[in-house]
Amino acid sequence: MALQINGERLWATLMEMAQIGGTDKGGCNRQALTDKDKAGRELFISWCKDIGCTLRVDQMGNLFLRKAGTDDSLPPVITGSHLDTQPTGGKFDGVYGVLAGLEVLRTLHENQIKTQHPLEVVVWTNEEGARFSPAMIGSGVWCGEFSLDYGLSRTDKAGVSIGDELARHGYQGETPCAPFEIKAAIELHIEQGPILEAEQKPIGVVKGVQGMRWYDLVITGQPVHAGPTPMEQRHDPMKAVAKIITALYALADETGPLARATFGDINASPGSRNTVPETVTLTVDLRHPNQQTLDKMDEAFRRIASDFSRECGVTHEIIDEWNSPAVEFDTTCIDAVRTSAEQAGLAYEEMFSGAGHDSVYVSKVAPTSMIFIPCEKGISHNEAENATPEDITAGCQVLLGTMVTLANA
């Protein structure tokens, strides 16, 4: 009989962790480097040490819990995600990937099985970006995307820095926050979207992460009285914004079905109901898994903004806020996930991630892939976030098979 993880134990572990920062609506508020995040970290470390794992903490507070291999000089196979949550987060986002990694190690420990390569479960610091911006800062510094000074200096709204909180909690480790040799990295996560549930498939074999471009579009016109000023004589930035939004929705349809265009925040100034605004600032989020297509969307956006601003007699500025290129995961890791799902008799969907994950940065320096499981109605970053015990178990079983295969290859 094939080695089986203990689904009931994994579920109980998830529910126990969920009590730390648990909310009245059934979610979790365990933001990065708060006292509750520290409590979650310490509980996780205690569970790992119970089965003989050793701990390293790097300069950004990233945790690495290691189960030795038969040849401990070999590079490890790693898994994991994050324990921090959104202010109104759920019980599974990130934490599932960490505790599923623990369940893999527990299963191997109780069956007295050692893999050739060592195994490690990692907890990345401040993945969510809810308290400190930007998101994925722990893995970003680790892979070299950001400097250590930049990472430690990031502050929350109260002016408290990541470095301050790491020092307060005793989690600013001495291990360099820098890449080390890794055999393979596999991250297990809820999908945070509706595709797997709609397809009625328990496993997503993730081939990559779509590229993401964030912008602030600032349109400037002329503030005038809403009553006396004829429509044709206005220099109305809101009119330009409306045309630009419509055109970008059309662009997403033209480059679909994988394209995404989102406008999550809009601000008009001076913000009076009977005054044509002087400036309108719009956040624009464009995404596509194909980098060439995303580049074309970027070019089209700039052209659309220029054309409609000119047509409406206003000026515009595009501020590039964030650029995360499309990621294609390692084919060997993808194949290992696919094979593990097949061996477990589980139906799967090959897909791209619509959200950013620590694996985006890890993949810059190590062979990487991800495994998804469904979440109810695709809801995440929400206290109503939910996943079934059956899917939780299935995903961890695929993770076990994938890690053992890669660690013995």
| CATH code of 67's domain | 3.40.630.10
Asked whether residue 204 is assigned to any structural domain, the reply reads yes
Specify whether 277 is located in the same domain as 352: no
Question: In sequence order, what are the residues at sequence separation of 6 or more whose Cβ sits closer than 8 angstroms to the Cβ of residue 320?
Answer: 213, 214, 215
Specify whether 143 is located in the same domain as 19: yes
Taking the model in full, what pTM does it have? Answer: 0.88
Decide which of 301, 324, 347 is a domain's last residue: 324
Specify whether 184 is located in the same domain as 274: no
Specify whether 310 is located in the same domain as 371: no
Asked whether residue 1 is assigned to any structural domain, the reply reads no
Decide which of 266, 291, 324 is a domain's last residue: 324
Q: How confident is the model at residue 322 (pLDDT cuts 50, 70, 90)?
A: confident
**What rounded mean pLDDT belongs to the chain?**
97
Per-residue pLDDT for 290 more than 90?
A: yes
Which structural domain, as residue segments, surrounds residue 340? 7-210+326-408
Give percent of the chain with pLDDT exceeding 90.
Answer: 97
The number of distinct structural domains making up the chain is 2
Residue 324 is predicted with a pLDDT of: 86
Specify whether 235 is located in the same domain as 90: no
Specify whether 112 is located in the same domain as 196: yes
Residue 321 is predicted with a pLDDT of: 87
Asked whether residue 202 is assigned to any structural domain, the reply reads yes
Averaged over 324-349, what is the pLDDT?
A: 97
pLDDT digits (tens, 9 = 90+) for 203-214: 999 999 999 999
Specify whether 195 is located in the same domain as 111: yes
What CATH number did the domain enclosing 253 receive?
3.30.70.360
Specify whether 78 is located in the same domain as 142: yes
Specify whether 27 is located in the same domain as 93: yes
Per-residue pLDDT for 288 more than 90?
A: yes
Specify whether 42 is located in the same domain as 162: yes
Averaged over 282-302, what is the pLDDT?
A: 97
User: Dihedral (C-alpha) 149, 155, 161, 162: value to the nearest 10 degrees?
Assistant: -70
Specify whether 311 is located in the same domain as 365: no
Decide which of 302, 324, 346 is a domain's last residue: 324
Per-residue pLDDT for 133 more than 90?
A: no
Specify whether 200 is located in the same domain as 339: yes
Per-residue pLDDT for 249 more than 80?
A: yes
Per-residue pLDDT for 354 more than 90?
A: no
Per-residue pLDDT for 132 more than 70?
A: yes
Residue 1 is predicted with a pLDDT of: 58
Q: How confident is the model at residue 192 (pLDDT cuts 50, 70, 90)?
A: very high
Asked whether residue 2 is assigned to any structural domain, the reply reads no
Asked whether residue 255 is assigned to any structural domain, the reply reads yes
Asked whether residue 65 is assigned to any structural domain, the reply reads yes
